[in-house]
Each structure stands twice: as C-alpha cells, then as structure tokens.
Amino acid sequence: TLFCSIFVIISSSLWPDLTNIILSTNESRPRRLQFSTEYFIDQEKYYYILLFHINATFCIALTVLTATGSMLNACLHHTCGMFSIA
C-alpha cells in the first residue's frame, strides 16, 4: 500500500500532460511541481528532469522509511525474545 502512494504521486504530477493527450484541446495547462522547491534553474525548461528528481527522492525516502521501521520492529522483537517478555 505504501508503494501505491508512489504511483498516485507520479500519476498526479503527469495529469496535465495526460489530459492534453486525451482531450486534445488547444489550451495549455500549467505544469506545477508537487513540492515547492528552489533549484535555481528554469523550472519550465527542465520540468521533466526535476519531476524525475522529485519522484526518485520520494521513492528512496519511502523505502528508507519502510526499512527503518521494519528494522526497529525486528530489533524490538529480538529484544523481547531475549528477555522472554513476549
């Protein structure tokens, strides 16, 4: 379920491009990044590179968060097993 949220974040950031392809209207929709950051470069010109960077960072952060929680849970179970608490 945690990695399903990654799919939602990535697909919601590409939503304006997908609607331009599907609906094919002659109006342009603004492209906005999900998180307000300052990269000190032109965000319109390098939109897809910045989008890839944000999505990769988000995926890595969720993986690290999940791994840290799992390791804490394993250490807690090991400690309880060593003291025969549980």
Task: Kindly report, residue by residue over 5-60, the tens digit of the pLDDT.
Answer: 777 777 777 777 777 777 777 777 677 777 777 878 888 888 889 888 888 888 89
Residue 49 in any domain: the answer is: yes
* pTM flag (> 0.75): no
Domain range for 7 is 1-23+41-85
* Contact (CB, 8 A) for 50 and 36: no
Residue 74 in any domain: the answer is: yes
Q: How many residues does the chain have?
A: 86
**DSSP code at position 14:** T
> How many domains does the chain contain in total?
1
* Contact (CB, 8 A) for 35 and 55: no
CA distance 20 to 26: 8
